C-alpha cells in the first residue's frame, strides 16, 4: 500500500448517514486534483467545480451500490467509473449495483461528458472515495473486535482479523461505519494489486440494452405527457415571419400550436448556449405520429435575417460575435476560404526565422487540405422531457453537460437552480452535440407554456438540419527542404467557417527550428459545435497526411521520419513549449510499427497508411491496411497503438477504439453536410452517408502501451488520427493523394 | 381512427389509432414498448426493426393496419430472460456502445439466422448492411452473429 495525502480541505466534507433500516450511506465531498487547467487541456472548467462526491451505499444485507456521476453515451463510464470506486473499496464487482446519479454538481462534481475527461477527472477522487469508505468499515470492525485497525484486512467485501479468526461482511458494519469520523488520509492500492480495474468487466447495462429496456430519453414517459415538435426555419439565415395554424389545429390529437422565443433580447450566452434558431413554431399533441402529421399542415412564412450581434460569455470571457445575414452555399464557402487563405492571417506561433528559411529553401512543398461541415447524427435524435410548473421544473433526457445548462435554464425560466431537477438518461450517442442543451431549454419553455408535462422530439430531419455542425476547414502546410533534403522550416496556416482548428503547439512544433503557425476565420450564420475530438479531428487529418507526403519527398520511411522529429523535440526542443510528450508519442509509433509488422514483407499485399496523433491527453497511432474490394479501395484491417495510461476496463477500451476507427473511416470517406442557399442538402440517412457494416474493416487490433500513468481519456484520441491514415493508405492504393474530404467523392 | 387488433409478443392488444400510423409509434406511444427505436422514420437505418410473421420489417414505414392480427415480435418479446442465443452472444462480445441501434441489429440478426442459420461473412454483410450503428460496433456485431450461429 502506498500512503497518499488526500486533499481534504475546509471546503470538503464527508457525510455519512444511517440508512433507514440500518446501513451506511457515504457521500464524499472530496477536494481533489480536479483541475482541468494545465498544459494538455482542451477544455477549461471553472474552479468552483473542483469538488466531487463519490457515492457509496451499503445496506446491512451487504448490497453495495455505487452511483455513477457522469452520464453515459456509449463511452462505458457507467461501468468504468464505478469500477474505480469498487477497486479501492475492495468489493466483489459482480455484486455491485450501479446507478446513474442525478444532476448535482455539489455532490457529484462536474458531471461533464466531453473532452475525453470523465475517467481522467474522476480517477483520483473516485479512488479516494472508495479507499476512505473501506477505511471507515475497517475502523468500525476494529472497534467492535477490540483490535487495531492495522490488523484488519479486507477482501471482496469482507473484513478479516487474522489473529482471532474473526470475519464479517461490509454490511455488518455499515451502520457503525456511518458514525466514524472522517478519515484524515487514505491509503490507495498499488496499481499492481488492482483486481477490478485493469480487468475487463462487462457493460453493466448490457442486459438492459439487449432486452430493450427503456433507458434512453426518447423512451421516457409519464402520465399525461404530451408530445411536442418544433418547426424551425428551413434554412440558415432565415427566421420566422408569421404562421397560420388553422389546418394543424383541426388535426386529430392536437392540443396547441404556438410560437416561442428561446433567448430574450440581449441574453448573454454561455459557451454552450449555442442555438441556431431563436424563434420557432411548436405543435403539441397527444402522440408522436399525430404531431408529426399535423406539423406538416402548418403554413409558415419565413424571412431572411439581418446581421445580428450576439454576446457570448465563456467562463468569464465576454465577446461579441457578428452573425451575418445571407443564404450561404457550400460552393461559395469553399471559394471564400480559398481567397481568404491567400491573405494575411493571425500569428499563433513563430520559432526561429521561417521567412528566411523558406527564401533559402532548395525545395518547398505546399499542400492544401479541406473538410466539410459534419453533422453529428447521434442515432437517438435530440429530445427532452420537461415538466415545468410555477414551483419547480423536472427535466429528463439525454445530456452531456447538465452543469452548463442549469444556470441557463434558471435564467430563462426565472427559477432558482435548486428548484430545477435534471435527470440524465442513457444517451443514444452524443459526439459533442449533446453538450449544447438548447433542446432542453426549448422543452422547458414548451412545458411552461403548454402547462403540461411534455416530451420534445426532434425528427431525424429536424436533428440533421439544425446546425451546430463540425466547422468546415481549410489548412495549408508548407515545408522547406535544403539541398540535402533536410527539413528546415514548417508553416501551417489554417482557417475555417466560422472557426479554425490550428493547434500551434502540437507536433511538429518543438521539432523544427523555423516554425510558423497562423490562423484565420470567416463569419457565418451556420452554427458549429464540438464534434468528437473538436479541432483535432481535422488538424490531425491534414497534418498527418502532409507528414506522409513530406517523408516521401525526403525519401524517408514515414514512421522513422516522425521518430526523428520526436527525437529532436525530446533532446533539443525548439521554442518554449509544445503540448505533447515526445517519449510517449514515439512510444505509440514504435508499438504500431512492431504490431502491424510494418516492415514485414507479408504485408506488402496491403496499401498501408500510418498516422499518429496526440490530443485530449492520449496518444494514438494507426496503421490502416487497404485492399481493393469490388474494385474500390477498402480498409481491411487496422492496427492501433494507444497510450492512455492505465486502461481501466480493457475490453471496453478496445471496443471504444474500434468504434472510433470505424467512425473515422466513415467520416473520412463519406461524411459531409452541404448547404445550398442556406438549406442543408442532407436531411436524413438516405442522403447523409454513414459507414455500414460491409465498409467496416474485418479486423481492428488494438494494443495499449502498458504503464502506470494515471488514465487519460479514450473517446476522442483514437478518432482524430484515423483520417490521415486512411488518406495515406488511399495514396498507396490509388496512386493519388487525397486532399479534400470526404474522400469517396474524389475516387 | 379505427380499432386494430394486434398480437405483440404473444399478447393481444386493441388500439384505436389512425390506421396509417406506423407500427413503430403504436408500439412506442400506445403500448409503451420502447425497445424498438426511432432513428430515421424513412426505412434507412434499421433501428426500428421488428419481426412480423417471423420476417424483419422496418416498423417506421409499416402501417399498423397492415399488421393487424399478425404475430409481431419486438426485442422485449425475443426471450423471457434475455437468453436468446443472439442476446447471449451480444453480451458475450459486449457489443453495445451507446446501445441505441442494438435492438434493431439484434432483431435483424434474428431474422437472418432464421432464414440462414450459418451465414457466411458476405451473407452477414448483405443482410445487416441496412442497420446503421453510429458508434461503429460493426466488428462485434459480426462476431456476435457468428457466435450465435455456431451455437444454433
Ligand atoms: S427508424 Fe425505421 S429504419 Fe430508421
Ligand atoms: S451502439 Fe450506438 S448506434 Fe450502435
Q: What is the pLDDT of residues A160-210, one digit of tens each?
A: 999 999 999 998 998 888 778 768 678 899 999 999 999 999 999 999 999
Contacts with A272 (C-beta within 8 Å, 6 or more apart), sequence order: A401, A404, A405, A435, A436, A437
Percent of chain A, pLDDT > 70?
A: 93
Report which protein residue has its CA nearest ligand 1's atom 3. Answer: B43
Alpha carbons A61 and B129: distance in angstroms, whole number: 48
The span from the CA of A659 to the CA of A150, in Å, is 46
Q: Are residues A26 and A113 part of one domain?
A: yes
Q: What is the whole-number distance in angstroms between the Cα of residue B105 and the centre of ligand 1?
A: 11
How far CA A502 is from CA of A401, A551, A558, A725, in Å, comes to 25, 21, 22, 19
Asked if A403 and A417 touch (Cβ cutoff 8 Å), the reply is no
Q: Is the CB of residue A337 less than 8 Å from the CB of residue A474? A: yes
Same domain for A45 and A162? yes
Q: Top-level CATH class of B2-76?
A: alpha beta
| Every domain range in chain B assigned CATH 3.10.20.30 | 2-76
Residue identified by cell 510494418 is A598
Q: Residue A689 is part of which domain span?
A: 341-373+469-746
Query: Distance of CA A583 to CAs A440, A508, A562, B3, Å?
Result: 44, 14, 12, 70
Range A482-486 contact pairs with CB under 8 angstroms and sequence separation of 24 or more = A482/A360, A482/A361, A482/A362, A483/A362, A485/A363, A485/A553, A485/A554, A485/A555, A486/A554
With a cut of 50, say whether residue A444 has pLDDT above it.
yes
Tell me if B75 and A694 make a contact (CB, 8 A cut-off).
Answer: no
Q: Which helix (H) or strand (E) holds A403?
A: helix A402-413
- DSSP code, position A673: B
Query: In chain A, which among 274-303 make CB contacts under 8 A with chain B?
Result: 287-290, 293
Q: Do the beta carbons of residue A68 and residue A98 sit within 8 Å?
A: yes
pLDDT of residue A34: 35
Q: Are residues A58 and A102 in the same domain?
A: yes
- Among residues A402, A435, A457, the one where a domain terminates is A457
Q: Are residues A261 and A141 in the same domain?
A: no
Q: A394 and A501: one domain?
A: no
Instruction: Say what the pLDDT of residue A572 is.
Output: 97
Tell me the average pLDDT across B23-49. 98
Mean pLDDT of A733-739: 98
Q: Is B54 in the pocket of ligand 2 (CB under 6 A)?
A: no
Query: Per-residue confidence at A5, pLDDT binned at 50, 70, 90?
Result: very low
Is residue A635 less than 8 Å (CB to CB) from chain B? no
Q: Are residues A626 and A720 in the same domain?
A: yes
Residue A370 · residue A741 · CB < 8 Å:
yes
CA distance B12 to chain A (A): 20
Asked whether residue A212 is domain-assigned, the answer is no
Is residue A604 one of the residues assigned to a domain? yes
pLDDT value for A578: 96
Residue ending a domain, among A159, A177, A202, is A202
Provide the 8-state DSSP code for A528: B
Helix (H) or strand (E) holding A339: helix A330-342
Question: What is the A102 CA–ligand 2 centroid distance (Å)?
Answer: 23
Same domain, yes or no: A696 and A730: yes
Mind listing the pLDDT tens digit for each residue in A259-315?
A: 999 999 989 998 899 999 999 999 999 999 999 999 999 999 999 999 999 888 877
- For chain A, the straight-line distance linking the first and the last C-alpha, in angstroms and rounded, comes to 58
Give strand ranges (E) for A482-631.
487-497, 514-521, 607-615, 618-629
Q: Cβ distance A308 to A300 under 8 Å?
A: no
Give distance in angstroms: CA of A380 to centre of ligand 2: 9
For residue A109, report the distance from its CA to the centre of ligand 2, in Å: 27
Q: Which of A413, A428, A457 is the last residue of a domain?
A: A457
Cα dihedral: A33, A34, A36, A37 (round 10): -40
- Closest C-alpha to A188, from A271, A276, A285, A85: A85
Q: What CA–CA distance (Å, rounded) separates A173 from A61?
A: 10
Name the residue among A252, A652, A691 with its Cβ closest to that of B18.
Answer: A252
- Closest C-alpha to ligand 2, atom 4: B133
Q: What is the predicted pLDDT for the residue at A106?
A: 73
What is the Cβ-side half-sphere exposure of residue A48, based on CA atoms within 13 angstroms?
6
Q: Are residues A588 and A522 in the same domain?
A: yes
Whether A683 shows a pLDDT value over 90: the answer reads yes
Q: What is the per-residue pLDDT for A20?
A: 60
Tell me what ipTM this predicted complex has: 0.99
CB-based burial of residue A4 (10 Å sphere; 0-12 exposed, 13-18 middle, 19+ buried)?
middle
Mutate to test the interface with A, among B29, B95, B138, B140 (most CBs of A within 10 A): B138
Do the domain assignments include residue A328?
Answer: no
Q: Is domain B85-151 given the CATH code 1.10.150.120 in the classification?
A: yes
**Residue pLDDT, tens place only, A110-135:** 788 888 888 888 898 889 888 988 99
Query: Are residues A176 and A251 located together in one domain of the fold?
Result: no
pLDDT of residue A18: 61
Per-residue cell: A525: 450564420
Q: Which of B32, B40, B41 is closest, CB to CB, to A221?
A: B32
Nearest to A310 by CA among A356, A342, A278: A278
**pTM assigned to the model:** 0.95
Query: Quick one: A390 and A362 in the same domain?
Result: no
Q: Compute φ and ψ for A535, nearest 5 degrees.
A: 75, -55
Q: Does a structural domain hold residue A11?
A: yes
In terms of domains, do A270 and A188 share one?
no
CA A548/CA A280 separation, integer angstroms: 48
Q: Distance between CA A393 and CA A410 in Å, rounded? A: 10
Query: Domains in chain A: how many in total?
Result: 3
* Residues A368 and A499 reside in one and the same domain: yes
Distance between CA atoms of A315 and A49, rounded to whole angstroms? 12
pLDDT number for residue A12: 40
Per residue in A325-361, pLDDT (tens digit) is: 999 999 999 999 999 999 999 999 999 999 999 999 9
Please, where in chain B does CATH 1.10.150.120 lie?
A: 85-151
Q: What is the CATH number of the domain that holds A550?
A: 3.30.365.10
Residue A21's pLDDT band, with cuts at 50, 70 and 90, is low
Amino acid at each position: 500500500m502506498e500512503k497518499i495525502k488526500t486533499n481534504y480541505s475546509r471546503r470538503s466534507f464527508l457525510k455519512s448517514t444511517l440508512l433507514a433500516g440500518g446501513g451506511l450511506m457515504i457521500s464524499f465531498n472530496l477536494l481533489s486534483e480536479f483541475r482541468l487547467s494545465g498544459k494538455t487541456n482542451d477544455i477549461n472548467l471553472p474552479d468552483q467545480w473542483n469538488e466531487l462526491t463519490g457515492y457509496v451505499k451499503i445496506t446491512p444485507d451487504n448490497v453495495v451500490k455505487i452511483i455513477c456521476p457522469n452520464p453515459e453515451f456509449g463511452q462505458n463510464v457507467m461501468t468504468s467509473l464505478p469500477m474505480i470506486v469498487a477497486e479501492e473499496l475492495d468489493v466483489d464487482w459482480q455484486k455491485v449495483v450501479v446507478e446513474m446519479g442525478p444532476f448535482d454538481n455539489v455532490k457529484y462534481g462536474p458531471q461533464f461528458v466531453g473532452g475525453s475527461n470523465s475517467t481522467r477527472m474522476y480517477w483520483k477522487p473516485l479512488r479516494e472515495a472508495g479507499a476512505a469508505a473501506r477505511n471507515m468499515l475497517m475502523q468500525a470492525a476494529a472497534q467492535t473486535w477490540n483490535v487495531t485497525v492495522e490488523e484488519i484486512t479486507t477482501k471482496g467485501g469482507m473484513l478479516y482479523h487474522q489473529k482471532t479468526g474473526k470475519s464479517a461482511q461490509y454490511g455488518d458494519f455499515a451502520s457503525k461505519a456511518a458514525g466514524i469520523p472522517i478519515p484524515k488520509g487514505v491509503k490507495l492500492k498499488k496499481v499492481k494489486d488492482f483486481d477490478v480495474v485493469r480487468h475487463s468487466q462487462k457493460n453493466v447495462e448490457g442486459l438492459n440494452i439487449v432486452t430493450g429496456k427503456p433507458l434512453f430519453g426518447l423512451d421516457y414517459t409519464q402520465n399525461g405527457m404530451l408530445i411536442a415538435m418544433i418547426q424551425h426555419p428551413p434554412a440558415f439565415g432565415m427566421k420566422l415571419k408569421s404562421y397560420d395554424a388553422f389546418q394543424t389545429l383541426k388535426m386529430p390529437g392536437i392540443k396547441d400550436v404556438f410560437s416561442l422565443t428561446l433567448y430574450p433580447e440581449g441574453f448573454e450566452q454561455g459557451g454552450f448556449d449555442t442555438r441556431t434558431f431563436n424563434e420557432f413554431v411548436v405543435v403539441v399533441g397527444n402522440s408522436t405520429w399525430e404531431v408529426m402529421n399535423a406539423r406538416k399542415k402548418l403554413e409558415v412564412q419565413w424571412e431572411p435575417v439581418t446581421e445580428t450581434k450576439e454576446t457570448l460569455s465563456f467562463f468569464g470571457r465576454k465577446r461579441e460575435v457578428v452573425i451575418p445575414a445571407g443564404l450561404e452555399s457550400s460552393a461559395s464557402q469553399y471559394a471564400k476560404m480559398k481567397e481568404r487563405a491567400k491573405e494575411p492571417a493571425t500569428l499563433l506561433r513563430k520559432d526561429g526565422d521561417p521567412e528566411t528559411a523558406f527564401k533559402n529553401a532548395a525545395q518547398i512543398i505546399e499542400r492544401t487540405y479541406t473538410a466539410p461541415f459534419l453533422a453529428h447524427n447521434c442515432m437517438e435524435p435530440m429530445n427532452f422531457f420537461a415538466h415545468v410548473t410555477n414551483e419547480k421544473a423536472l427535466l429528463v433526457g439525454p445530456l452531456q453537460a447538465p452543469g452548463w445548462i442549469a444556470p441557463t435554464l434558471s435564467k430563462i425560466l426565472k427559477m432558482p437552480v435548486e428548484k430545477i431537477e435534471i435527470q440524465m438518461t442513457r444517451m443514444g450517442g452524443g459526439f459533442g452535440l449533446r453538450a449544447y442543451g438548447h433542446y432542453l431549454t426549448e422543452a422547458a419553455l414548451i412545458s411552461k407554456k403548454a402547462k403540461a408535462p411534455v416530451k420534445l422530439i426532434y425528427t431525424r430531419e429536424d436533428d440533421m438540419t439544425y446546425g451546430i455542425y463540425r466547422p468546415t476547414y481549410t489548412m495549408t502546410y508548407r515545408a522547406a527542404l535544403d539541398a540535402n533534403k533536410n527539413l528546415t522550416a514548417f508553416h501551417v496556416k489554417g482557417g475555417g467557417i466560422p472557426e479554425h482548428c490550428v493547434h500551434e503547439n502540437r507536433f511538429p512544433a518543438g521539432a523544427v527550428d523555423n516554425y510558423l503557425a497562423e490562423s484565420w476565420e470567416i463569419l457565418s450564420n451556420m452554427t458549429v459545435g464540438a464534434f468528437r475530438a473538436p479541432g483535432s479531428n481535422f488538424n490531425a487529418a491534414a497534418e498527418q497526411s502532409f507528414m506522409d507526403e513530406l517523408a516521401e519527398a525526403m525519401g524517408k520511411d514515414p514512421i522513422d521520419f516522425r521518430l526523428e522529429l520526436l527525437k529532436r523535440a525530446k533532446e533539443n526542443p525548439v521554442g518554449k513549449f509544445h503540448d505533447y510528450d515526445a517519449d510517449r508519442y514515439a512510444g505509440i509509433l514504435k508499438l504500431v510499427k512492431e504490431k502491424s509488422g510494418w516492415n514485414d514483407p507479408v504485408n506488402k499485399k496491403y496499401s498501408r497508411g500510418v498516422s499518429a496523433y496526440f490530443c485530449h491527453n492520449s496518444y494514438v497511432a494507426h496503421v490502416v491496411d487497404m485492399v481493393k474490394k469490388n474494385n474500390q479501395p477498402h480498409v481491411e484491417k487496422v492496427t492501433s497503438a494507444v497510450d492512455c495510461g492505465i486502461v481501466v476496463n480493457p475490453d471496453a477500451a478496445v471496443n471504444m477504439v474500434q468504434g472510433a476507427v470505424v467512425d473515422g473511416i466513415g467520416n473520412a470517406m463519406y461524411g459531409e453536410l452541404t448547404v445550398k442557399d442556406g438549406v442543408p442538402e442532407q436531411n436524413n440517412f438516405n442522403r447523409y452517408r454513414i459507414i455500414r457494416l460491409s465498409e467496416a474493416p474485418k479486423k481492428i487490433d488494438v494494443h495499449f502501451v502498458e504503464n502506470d500513468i494515471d488514465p487519460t481519456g479514450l473517446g476522442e484520441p483514437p478518432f482524430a488520427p484515423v483520417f490521415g491514415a486512411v488518406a495515406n493508405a488511399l495514396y498507396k492504393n490509388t496512386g493519388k493523394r487525397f486532399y479534400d474530404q470526404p474522400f469517396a467523392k474524389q475516387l | 381512427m379505427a380499432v386494430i387488433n394486434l398480437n405483440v409478443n404473444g399478447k393481444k392488444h386493441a388500439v384505436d389509432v389512425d390506421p396509417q400510423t406506423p407500427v413503430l409509434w403504436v408500439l412506442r406511444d400506445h403500448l409503451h414498448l420502447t425497445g424498438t427505436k426511432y432513428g430515421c422514420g424513412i426505412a434507412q437505418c434499421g433501428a426500428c426493426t421488428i419481426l412480423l410473421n417471423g420476417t424483419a420489417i422496418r416498423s417506421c414505414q409499416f402501417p399498423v393496419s397492415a399488421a393487424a392480427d399478425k404475430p409481431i415480435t419486438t426485442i422485449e418479446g425475443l426471450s423471457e430472460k434475455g437468453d436468446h442465443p443472439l442476446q447471449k452472444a451480444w453480451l458475450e462480445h459486449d457489443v453495445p456502445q451507446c446501445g441505441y441501434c442494438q435492438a434493431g441489429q439484434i432483431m435483424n440478426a434474428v431474422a437472418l439466422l432464421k432464414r440462414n442459420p450459418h451465414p457466411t461473412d458476405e451473407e452477414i454483410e448483405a443482410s445487416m448492411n441496412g442497420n446503421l450503428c453510429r458508434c461503429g460496433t460493426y466488428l462485434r456485431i459480426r462476431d456476435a452473429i457468428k457466435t450465435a450461429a455456431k451455437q444454433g
